Amino acid sequence: MKIVISKLPDSGWWSRGIPKYDDNPAMKKGLIPNHVLAEKERKVLISAIKKSGHNILEFDFPLILDQQHPKHDFVFIRDSFISNQMGTAIILRAGEPSRRIENQIVTSYLESLDIKIIEMPDKKGIRADGGEFYFCREENVLFCGLKRNTMQGATFVAEKFNVAELVIIEGNGYHLDTFFTPVLDKKGCIIALIACKKMLSKISESSLCQFAKSRNIPLIDIPQVDSLGTASSIGNFAANALPLPGVLIRANRFTDLSVEEKLRELEIKSFITPTSQFQLSGGSVHCITNEL
């Protein structure tokens, strides 16, 4: 599988200071990430992906964003598009309006790779970010959040990919990947679900329990510190993981050691790749990567 990751801008990521989005408590407004450390963390992540047996595809950071559009988050390449991992990608319509230029720019990158492009309609009421989705190709299951996504955006993706099952998950994080991740076995099948139940709506918790029960897989609860956390106490982003067949790449180990033990029992190999500088803007491993 090819994993897309963006290069950092030469001038330094957020060289004019991180902005603030109202729904993202993790963003440290005005702070300037340490460019050297961000590049180091990025290289460690790339190394982990390669060790897990996958190829890296690097996209150049768009110069126009750093020069003319200071409220950019292109390094979080996950949000611009979602791929069915079989040659088709949907260009999404960002929930944060200032980021919609990223959706436009990524189209040319994908077209140069001969990827079939489907564009989400640029219409009021249709919104979707890649961080709100986990697409499990082997079983054709799409998990979807509804914070920066709308139901219209979710169903558009589900219909275009002709998914076998759409699982809607509502929670307190601005993106689904701030409090949830599936876990895949070596064949790419869903072998477990990890979620911070405290951040789930009651209906979504019930839905996930039912999904897990129907497949005889565990739904593993994690403490809030392993997710986005709270406005007063930002979490460690361990839940913001890249699930690959037999592998779970993430920024931190889970503070509940029984979760790590369960992953070992399931024969899941863990790669821990710190993302401290990316977390200053509210993102981590899943946000920085995108399956193609």
Q: Which residues contact residue 233 at a Cβ distance below 8 angstroms, ignoring those fewer than 6 apart?
A: 225
pLDDT at 71: 61
- pTM for this predicted structure: 0.96
CATH assignment, 2-291: 3.75.10.10
Query: Sorting pLDDT into bands at 50, 70 and 90, what band is 13?
Result: confident
> How is residue 277 annotated by DSSP?
H
* HSE-up (13 A, CA, CB side) for residue 45: 32
- pLDDT above 80 (res 70): no
d(CA 145, CA 153): 10
Residue 164, Cβ density class (10 Å: 0-12 exposed, 13-18 middle, ≥19 buried): exposed
pLDDT at 46: 98
Closest to 116 measured CA to CA, from 78, 152, 88, 150: 88
pLDDT tens digit string along 118-131? 999 999 999 999 99
Kindly state the percentage of the chain with pLDDT values over 90.
87
Query: Sorting pLDDT into bands at 50, 70 and 90, what band is 20?
Result: confident
Q: Which residues contact residue 238 at a Cβ distance below 8 angstroms, ignoring those fewer than 6 apart?
A: 222, 226, 227, 250, 251, 252, 253, 254, 255
Residue 124, Cβ density class (10 Å: 0-12 exposed, 13-18 middle, ≥19 buried): exposed
